Amino acid sequence: MEAIISFLTSQPPLHVLTCVTLLSPAAGAFVLVLLSVSGINPHERWVAAVSGITVTGAALAALLLAGLTMLRPGHEFDEVLWTMYSVESYHLDVSIYVDPLSATMIVLGGAVLPVLGRFSGRYLHKDPGYLRFFVLLGVAATGFFWFVLGGSIDMAFFGWELLGLSSVLLVAFFWDRSEPLVGSGRVFATYRVADIALLTSAVLLHSYAGDSSWASVFGVGELEGAHLGTFPATVLGLAVLAAAIGKSAQVPVTGYIVRAMEGPTPSSALFYGTLSIHAGVYLILRFEPLFAEAPIVRIAVFSVGLLTAITASLSARVRADAKGALALASAGQAGLMLAEVGLGWTTLATCHLLAHGLLRLTQFLRSPSWLTDAQARRSAFGGGRFRSDFYAERLLPIPLRNWLYAAALSRFGMDAILDRLFSRPLSALAHLASSSRPRMRKRDGARIADACAPIQSVGSAPHVHVHASTSKGVH
Amino acid sequence: MFAWMFDPFFWLVVPVIVLEALRVARSERKRQRYSVAMAALFGALELLVLGLCAATGSPLVFMLVMVVRLAIVRVRERAWWVRGPLKASLLLVALGILMAVGQVSSFAEVAGTNLDPTWRITILVLICAACAAAIMPVRIADEPKETLSAPLAFIVFVRVGLPLGAQEPLFAVVVPVVAVAMSLVCALWLFSAGKRANQFEDSTLVSELLVCERGVLLSFVWLGLASNEHLAGIGALLLWWSGSLALLALEASLRRRPLPKPMAFFALAMAVNLPGTIGFVAEDLLVHGLLYERPILAVAFVGVVTLNAPALYLALVNVIVDVHARYPHLQAQPDAPRSIVMLVAATLSLLVGLIPRPFVAGANQVYDTIVPASHRADH
């Protein structure tokens, strides 16, 4: 038995599993793209089969990889697979790093992805974007596994961006309507800021630690981790927190998650119930050892998390649509996890992450049948009420309760504040910068009457835009 | 007089020139206005003329070819335009001074020439002004008249500007700042264009999007080249490739009706340098190159990168919404007429992005050629 375990936990089997995990979903997506561009219109069954085999294969390989790594002494597997490029002393290695933390995330991804693939195969039956969905599912799975298994922050960044890209494109899945497109714009802008924050973290890590691999920064086995000092650890920690805030929909950018619900339900479950929403938490958990040198970051992580937990939970309670409520509740739970990390309770946060991801997946996937479920529950209660008349809010004074209700409805005005602080000044700046440019002319040569019309906010643009475009009568 | 420079830089520029020629040859407008054969001929001429400019080692030949190209574009576009002759004049004056005052008959002699500082600065200012003019987007109602990604000013900048700039301590300080400022302006214009999409004609919106994005990408290339940092220079050279591919892909997809949306989104991914594309590698190198010696520039660069992506996305989304509103009858049609150019561009970008090592090594070799080690900031 020991010989078998020893063989299985040696490098060759783990290398094979790694390659299957990292490449299989990408290969599936690539095959589907090839089928699409070559003019072959594959039957839904074939699309689902290709995606199912590759994504499920990757998930199984990932679960095995996590399990076998846990059998290794030290519970870690760190390996540089190849060097992508190198210039003088700078090099980018494709590496893998599995430890108990990444194993937990792998378990989440490995459990979720096959279920989602199976569910989506039926849910999107006869949808014109059927193939596109499964291509993006493959990209998302690839991104997730690279993010979690990547042995350095550079590799994690690679996966992080792929995960974000697939998420945005799935929000814009129904692109014949303008709302999903505009909603995806908001998600893209938020993710891009988070991307840049993570890129900054990567560059800072290179600069401060001299290396970006998790093994050298946090230490593996007898190898001691890097000691950055208070200031570098604080700057780095704040950059990482900024990235996590964007990805995990924390205060003040929680609002984008509601717009992201324009995508199909399986994609909402995948990103905003399980994988993407927890990516930020995972990142904070990964960097947690550095926070020992940066108490300010700990306080910031705790504060952001707690604030999000309170505001998002309250907003979720007044939200009228099921998916929006679930998304806000997910953000609130992610906030709680961050608060736990801030307090140093990393094991609790990791367990919380895993349990929450699995529960939320079920809730999201059941959300289209919410009414049926509610009726079934009511029947189970004999037709009577299945909720008591007691709500904790009743303990509050009425004016405060009303204020909280209104504030929760508007998500505590955070979207408006962000618009006022960023969108409007940026629009005004863009307007100012382009005011010197020659005005456009209509096709009939008439000068546009009001070229200096106020710039519409992202949320309101399409309505104005569509009417204006249609009114030109260009066909 | 007929010296040739088939050096690594030439071979780096060749793919960019080929893409540019392909763009001209496949231009829908030129096919409609002339014929498919004439459009192909114009593409071949573009390839020949730009190739000659990249290959020649003689400033005189360069000047002659530049004037010939101006005439060809005048005939091709059936209109005079301001910016082309303006840029050509700036370059002609700069090269004229170089030949007359510096007694330079070959680009290879530029590094060794001992020009008076006043003349040197004059030449550098003229070349940089031509580069700035090439980057600055000019609003147009139809296809861009000039090259999208292979401005002659950049070739002169590399052949003359970099060797002369190495003798001017302020060169590597001022030019990158100008480049970053220009990239910010271009990104803001792109953002503004996306916001006011309803004020644009269909083709104008696409052109506006293209020239603004071209401005952003070329500013980054200019920034990396002028920064005198090794990694940033290599990143800039790779970004020149990736930018050319992205612009070609964007144009190929956005001018089609019905709009091939998957392709348009992939072109966007190429333009904003998402992982898997060569732009990702280029951006990574550029940021790392700038960070250590020019942290403020790196922060500014990152800021523009952050703004550029949502601005481009917003513009693209508005193109899609606009097309839906204008051509409702196309809605029922299947989505994507396939574009071979787009597919080739995407495949190349992915291929180079996933196996970047030989291309990074190639760009490294080019950088060693155009900026000798003794002239580098990190030397």
Token reading at B249? 């892909």
Peptide bond between residue A252 and the one before it cis (omega within 30 degrees of 0) = yes
- The percentage of chain B sitting over the pLDDT mark of 90, rounded to a whole number, equals 31
Chain A from 26 to 65: CB within 8 A of any B CB: 36-37, 39
Residues of chain B with Cβ-Cβ distance to A165 below 8 Å are 269, 274-275
Q: Which of residues 390-409 of A touch B (CB under 8 A)?
A: none
Contact criterion met (CB < 8 Å) for B195 and A427: yes
Query: If you average pLDDT over residues B215-238, what whole number do you get?
Result: 92
Give the residue with greater pLDDT, B22 vs A239. Answer: A239
Q: What is the mean pLDDT of residues A241-254?
A: 94
Start-to-end C-alpha separation, chain B: 34
Compute the nearest-CA separation of B360 from chain A (Å).
Answer: 7
Mutation choice for B interface testing from A162, A201, A429, A440 by most B CBs within 10 A: A440
Q: How far is A429 from chain B (nearest CA, A)?
A: 7
Nearest by CB: A165 against B269, B284, B310: B269
Q: Comparing A147 with B255, which gets the higher pLDDT?
A: A147
pLDDT at A274: 92
Q: Is A6 exposed, middle or buried (0-12, 13-18, 19+ CB in 10 A)?
A: exposed
Considering only A100-109, A435-444, A464-473, B201-210, which range has the smallest mean pLDDT? A464-473
Report pLDDT digits (tens) over A317-372.
Answer: 899 888 999 999 999 999 999 999 999 999 999 999 999 999 999 999 999 888 88
Partner-chain residue, chosen from A83, A161, A455, that has the shortest CB–CB distance to B196? A455
* This prediction's pTM: 0.87
* Residues pairing with A85 in the sheet: A92
Q: In which band, very low, low, confident or very high, does the pLDDT at B44 lie, cut at 50, 70 and 90?
A: very high
Q: Is the pLDDT of residue A15 over 60?
A: yes
Neighbour-count burial for B121-135, b at 16+ CB within 10 Å, e otherwise: ebbbebbbbbbbbbb
- For residue A203, what is the nearest residue in chain B, using CA coordinates? B288
Query: What is the mean predicted confidence (pLDDT) over A70-95?
Result: 84
ipTM passes above 0.90 = no
Of B199, B321, B360, the CB nearest to A178: B321
Residue A474 has a pLDDT of 32
Q: Does A474 touch chain B (CB under 8 A)?
A: yes
Q: What is the mean pLDDT of residues A450-463?
A: 36
Indicate whether A77 pLDDT > 90.
no
**Interface contact flag, A84 B262, Cβ < 8 Å:** no
Chosen from B139, B313, B316, B365 to mutate, greatest number of chain A CBs within 10 A: B313
Over residues A142-146, mean pLDDT: 95
Confidence of residue A225 (pLDDT cuts 50, 70, 90): confident
Assign A385 a pLDDT band (cuts: 50, 70, 90).
Answer: low
Residues of chain B with Cβ-Cβ distance to A188 below 8 Å are: 309-310, 313
Work out the percent of chain B whose per-residue pLDDT is above 70: 93
Top-confidence residue, B335 or B75: B75
Residue A264 has pLDDT above 70, yes or no: yes
Per-residue pLDDT at A438: 59
Closest CA to A440 of B329, B197, B151: B197
Burial level of A25, CB count in 10 A (0-12/13-18/19+)?
A: buried
| A387 has pLDDT over 70 | no
Verify whether the Cβ–Cβ distance A433 to B198 is below 8 Å: no
pLDDT value, residue A222: 66
pLDDT for position A449 = 34
Alpha carbon separation from A140 to A110, A136, A137, A167, A372 (Å, rounded): 13, 6, 5, 7, 31
Please check whether residue A433 touches B, CB under 8 A. yes
How many other CB atoms are there within 10 angstroms of residue A409's CB atom?
13
Place of tokens 């000044």: A425
Arithmetic mean of pLDDT, A181-197 = 91
Give residue B34's pLDDT band: very low, low, confident or very high (50, 70, 90): confident
Task: Encode pLDDT of A279-332 as tens digits.
Answer: 999 999 999 999 988 999 999 999 999 999 999 999 998 998 889 999 999 999
Q: Tell me: the pLDDT tens digits for B125-177?
A: 999 999 999 898 876 666 777 777 778 899 999 999 999 988 888 888 999 99
Q: Tokens 């080739």, residue?
A: B344
Task: Indicate the average pLDDT of chain A.
Answer: 85
pLDDT score of A440: 52
pLDDT at residue B374, rounded to an integer: 56
Cβ contact B313–A188 (<8 Å): yes
Q: Mind listing the pLDDT tens digit for each residue in A388-404?
A: 666 777 788 889 989 99
Nearest to A94 by CA among A11, A14, A155, A24: A155
How many pairs of residues across A and B have Cβ atoms under 8 Å apart? 161
Say if residue A447's pLDDT is above 80.
Answer: no
Q: Chain B: nearest CA to A468, how far in angstroms?
A: 6
Residues of B in contact with A175 (CB under 8 A): 261, 320
